[in-house]
Structure 1
Amino acid sequence: MKEYILVVDDEKSLRRFLEIFLEKEGYEVDTAASLEEAEKAIERNVYDLVLTDLRMAGEDDGLKVLRAAIHKNPSTEVVVMTAFAEHKTAVEAMKLGAYDYVDKEALNLGADTITKPFDLGQMRDFIKKAIARKETADIRSRELREEVLEKSSYEGIVGRCEAMLKIFEMIERVAPTNANVMILGDSGTGKELVAKALHSRSERREYPFLPINCAAIP
């Protein structure tokens, strides 16, 4: 089965270029010219990879595409492209779960950067790495679901409905990263349990988990 990719960019020529290139590489490709088109496509389909421009119509719509894609399917990989030297926004995208970001201008940001005009070899390798990560995440997701269905719990959190499984998958996605995580919820909904699960699945698991009651701090 072909991997399914969504390309989101308001620049028609680049969007078409990427569509042709990726189809020649053997991928199934959809395109969207705006945030609205992207959201509709994400709602209809499940993509292996979303390749989105950061800025469209002067707005940081790429971040909204990113959020929509991961909300629909936590294992979808997202690569953010930007022609703007806005490292802070690109880093924010990575913290939200983007696989990485590529730069559309000649900005020397590191080995994973692709300049404009794109080096097709680099683009090919970049996409392959993101797809490979997606495949690994899918395997882990299946294992996680089997584990939860067997034990009816995950890291001490009881639940096996689809909503809880999505939370567990998000924990698996975020835990290995260095992203700051804000957990929101009413009192008694299990925020500390989620925090403990994140700690348990992270590279810091060998270090103590230290809960702090902020309300008790004078």
Structure 2
Amino acid sequence: MPMTTQQLLQILPNAGPQAGIFVSALSAAMGKYQITTPARSAAFIAQVGHESAQLTAVVENLNYSAQALQKTWPSRFSAEVASACARQPEKIANIAYASRMGNGALGSGDGWKYRGRGLIQVTGKSNYQKCGDALGMDLITKPELLQEPANAAMSAAWFWYANGLNALADAGDLQSITRKINGGLNGYADRAEIYERALKVLG
């Protein structure tokens, strides 16, 4: 049964009007990628809820301080580079993401062009290519398509399915799911809290 706006707001109370905008997009995406049981749905909403600041952000926020840059990407930002780039999102993206994930070198601008977008941030040219192929869209030419609610939700559900996260959700393994999405356990307490709420609302 598709989720209602009211249920979504119970799970993500800070979503506000975005809940109404995203509810049908999420239901369609979840239906397509078999995220249909309460356990799968709760785990998925917990992750997209955390990653998107409760549906309010579909583009990566790269407005870092010098200190945060050194902490987040120690190999990419020396003290000197970090202080020169602090609070300049485009510069930060181009340095942080240059020459990896299919992106070109620093001067290509690919880091900024293919920064994280969607409800589970698709990042890097090669991931945009894979996602675009799966969804039948030209995301290389038009990466901003991932900012539209339907595509933001569908890209997240595609990533979830492609990474075998339904099986981890069936096992209730929120930590492993978080590692697959985040690379670590950043924000785990928030993800777990949303998950518990979602299980109550959807269960």
Flag the structure with higher helix content: 2
TM-score (norm 2): 0.26
Instruction: Give 1 or 2 for the bigger CA radius of gyration.
Output: 1
Flag the structure with higher strand content: 1
TM-score (norm 1): 0.25
